[in-house]
Amino acid sequence: MVPANEQVFETECQVISNSPVNNDYRLLVLAAPAEILNCTPGQFFHLQCPVREGLQPYLRRPMSIYGYFPEKGELQFLYKIAGTGTAALATLAPGEPLNVVGPLGQGFDIRDDWQNLLLLARGVGLATLAPLALEAHKRGKTLTAICSARSPEMLMSIDYFRDLGANIITVTDSEETSGLENLEKLIEGLIATNGIDAFYTCGSNRLLKLLQTLGARHNISGQIALEQQMACGLGMCQCCVRSFQSPTGIVHKRVCKEGPVFDLQEAMGW
- What residue spans define the domains of the chain? 9-104, 116-225
Question: Is residue 228 scored above 70 in pLDDT?
Answer: yes
Residue 5 banded pLDDT, cuts 50, 70, 90? low
Q: Collapse the DSSP code of 217 into the 3-class scheme (helix H, G, I; strand E, B; otherwise coil) and give the result.
A: helix
pLDDT per residue as tens digits for the range 124-168: 787 789 999 999 999 999 999 999 989 998 888 888 889 999 999
Do the domains 9-104 and 116-225 sit in the same CATH topology, yes or no? no
pLDDT per residue as tens digits for the range 48-94: 999 988 888 888 999 999 999 999 999 999 998 889 999 999 999 99
Lowest-pLDDT range of 8-22, 103-117, 149-163, 255-269: 149-163
pLDDT at 189: 96
Whether the Cβ atoms of residue 118 and residue 187 lie closer than 8 Å to each other: yes
Whether the Cβ atoms of residue 239 and residue 230 lie closer than 8 Å to each other: yes
pLDDT per residue as tens digits for the range 34-49: 999 999 999 999 999 9
Q: Which residues of 165-178 are buried (b: 16+ CB within 10 A; e: fewer)?
A: ebeebebbeeeeeb
Given CATH 3.10.20.30, say whether it is the number of domain 116-225. Answer: no
Residue 90: how many other CB atoms lie within 10 Å: 18
Is 62 annotated among the ligand-binding residues? yes
Is 193 annotated among the ligand-binding residues? no
Is 174 annotated among the ligand-binding residues? no
Length of the chain: 270
Is 70 annotated among the ligand-binding residues? no
Name the average pLDDT for the chain. 92
What is the average pLDDT across 201-220?
A: 94
Is 49 annotated among the ligand-binding residues? no
Is 86 annotated among the ligand-binding residues? yes
Angle at 200 between CA 202 and CA 36, to 5 degrees: 70
Residue 22 banded pLDDT, cuts 50, 70, 90? confident
Is 123 annotated among the ligand-binding residues? no
Laid out side by side, the sheet with 142-149 consists of 167-172, 142-149, 116-122, 198-202, 221-225, 261-263
Instruction: Tell me the longest C-alpha to C-alpha distance in the chain.
Output: 56
DSSP strands (E only) in 1-129: 9-20, 25-31, 44-47, 61-64, 67-69, 74-80, 97-104, 116-122
Is 13 annotated among the ligand-binding residues? no
pLDDT at 123: 77
Query: What is the pTM (predicted TM-score) of this model?
Result: 0.92
CA distance linking residue 50 with residue 2, whole number of Å: 32
Instruction: List, in sequence order, the alpha helices (H) in 141-221.
Output: 158-163, 180-193, 205-218
What are the counts of helices (DSSP H) followed by strands (DSSP E) for the chain? 5, 15
Per DSSP, what are the bridge partners of residue 171?
Answer: 148
CA distance linking residue 7 with residue 152, whole number of Å: 40
CA distance linking residue 227 with residue 202, whole number of Å: 8
- 9-104: CATH architecture: Beta Barrel (2.40)
CA distance linking residue 185 with residue 112, whole number of Å: 28
Closest to 187 measured CA to CA, from 124, 245, 117, 255: 117
CA distance linking residue 44 with residue 211, whole number of Å: 23
